Amino acid sequence: MDRNDTIIALASGAGRAGIAVVRISGPACRFVLETISGRVTKPRRLELCTLRDPGSREMLDEALVAFFPSPNSFTGEDVAELHVHGGRAVVAAVLGALVVIPGCRLAEAGEFSRRALLNGKMDLSTVEGLGDLIDAETEMQRRQAMRQMQGDLREAVERWRTTLIEASAFVEAELDFADEGDVPHGLRERATGLLTSVADELRREIARARNGERIRSGLTVVIAGPPNAGKSTLLNALARRDVAIVSDIPGTTRDSIEVHWDLAGVPVTLVDTAGLRESQDPIEQEGVRRARDRARTADVILSLRPFDSPTEHLRDAPGAVIIPIRTKIDLATEHSDIGAQADELQLSATTSEGIEALVAKLEAVAKDVVADGGLVTRERHREAFVGALTLLERAISAGPDHPGEFFAEDIRLAMRYLGRVTGTVDVEDVLDRLFAGFCIGK
């Protein structure tokens, strides 16, 4: 990956469309425009140009061209956009003509954003916010990504680092100028007070970190229960389509079936699992094992039991919200009902009775689980915050006899952990993994 290359990519969606946007960035950008359109357009204005093949001079398309000179562009380099007609043949012809120009090549995934980061146009946290915005499928994901892309996480981290720098200055002054008469006493105590304020904020963010991660990655809702409890029928009813095979034969569902669902703006993965029972069939045994594994890692469990079954609801899922549901109530009679429980939702997926009440319950649970998502959206943010907090707590709890050099080192290392969030330190180890998930033209 040579930063001296000029990179080219289709920045809009592939396939037939009215307009397609081809993006160009790099040192040869002006030359590319002169070669393919005959001129460099005025900065930041769309102008109609005729695009021609560099070799044959055959007309390729009439396009709107925009030029963004360095450093006032997305990547910080000279950037151009060609708004061409969106037919596959047009796009292929334009891209084919561009890549034969000396110094030009097709961009790799996320390379435009990577150049923006390396050129100081964005920090690592805002790049992650941009990636999340592109991938956002629900309203809550969009809002969270916008907050991060606009710098909420970066601003908080920089505020904390500024406070720690001030604390570090107090400690260094005490270490280096303790014998000077004009150095005030109590600098260690003042530094400790600053560390405490940052530690308190980090603690709050860590406490609600899981909520932010859930908004980004979504909730997992597992439908569990014995065979023939109506799990697949409920999945189909919630998904509003036939996703799973429904049969009266016990053990029809052998593996987990997943459906993605937008629940009041919260991304949800609905999982239908194999019926929980003892079986001699090795395939069904594996399905039951997988069902229990999914239940143990679920955020919410819909624990089903038929109206005529004495089966106990699933309870061995620490950390999950369990919603007990009595199913097939359309078949229940006064004499067939077994052991109704006060906390059970009454439901018939066949007649849709109780479905609205279940959806309302799930919406309430989802909003409660992801409420107050905070700043953390990724595991690496949480790990950096935990690392910084651990060091600050060690420094705060150290007694007055604790060497000042160790106190100062804990502060420095805490700042380093925070710097990992925005990419001011240790950035290379996350770049390849981060940008691999980006679109080619972004």
Q: Calculate the CA dihedral of residues 100, 102, 104, 105 and round it to 10 degrees.
A: 50
Higher pLDDT, 93 or 248: 93
Enumerate the H helices of 252-305 as residue ranges: 282-296
What is d(CA 61, CA 9) in angstroms, rounded to the nearest whole number? 17
* pLDDT tens per residue, range 126-141: 999 998 998 888 888 8
- Is 207 a residue whose pLDDT tops 90? no
253 is known to lie in a ligand binding site: yes
Residue 430's pLDDT band (boundaries 50, 70, 90)? low
121 is known to lie in a ligand binding site: yes
23 is known to lie in a ligand binding site: yes
pLDDT of residue 143: 87
**Fold that domain 6-121 belongs to in CATH:** Gyrase A; domain 2 (3.30.1360)
Architecture of domain 126-208+376-423: Up-down Bundle (1.20)
81 is known to lie in a ligand binding site: yes
Residue 376, phi then psi, degrees to nearest 5: -80, 130
- For 107, 201, 275, 355, 375, the CA distances from 208, given in Å and listed in that order, are 38, 11, 34, 30, 9
User: Taking the model in full, what pTM does it have?
Assistant: 0.74
Residue 336 neighbours by CB under 8 Å, 6+ apart? 307, 308
Higher pLDDT, 287 or 49: 49
275 is known to lie in a ligand binding site: yes
What is d(CA 68, CA 91) in angstroms, rounded to the nearest whole number? 21
> CATH 1.20.120.430 occupies which residues in the chain?
126-208+376-423
**Ranges 92-96, 320-324, 389-393: which has the least confidence:** 320-324
User: Cα–Cα–Cα angle for 302, 303, 304, nearest 5°?
Assistant: 110
Beta strands per DSSP E along 145-264 = 219-224, 257-263
- Is 324 a residue whose pLDDT tops 90? no
* pLDDT tens per residue, range 395-427: 998 866 667 788 888 999 999 999 999 887 655
> CATH 3.40.50.300 occupies which residues in the chain?
217-369
* pLDDT tens per residue, range 177-204: 555 545 455 677 888 899 999 999 999 9
> CATH 3.30.1360.120 occupies which residues in the chain?
6-121
Amino acid, res. 149: M
**Residues, the chain:** 442
273 is known to lie in a ligand binding site: yes
217 is known to lie in a ligand binding site: no
**Fold that domain 217-369 belongs to in CATH:** Rossmann fold (3.40.50)
229 is known to lie in a ligand binding site: yes
232 is known to lie in a ligand binding site: yes
The structure tokens listed for 437 are 């998930």
Of the candidates 220, 213, 240, 367, the one whose C-alpha atom is nearest the C-alpha of residue 301 is: 220
250 is known to lie in a ligand binding site: yes
The CB density around residue 397, as the number of other CB atoms within 10 Å, is: 9
Residue 240 neighbours by CB under 8 Å, 6+ apart? none
Contact at 8 Å (CB) between 332 and 350? no
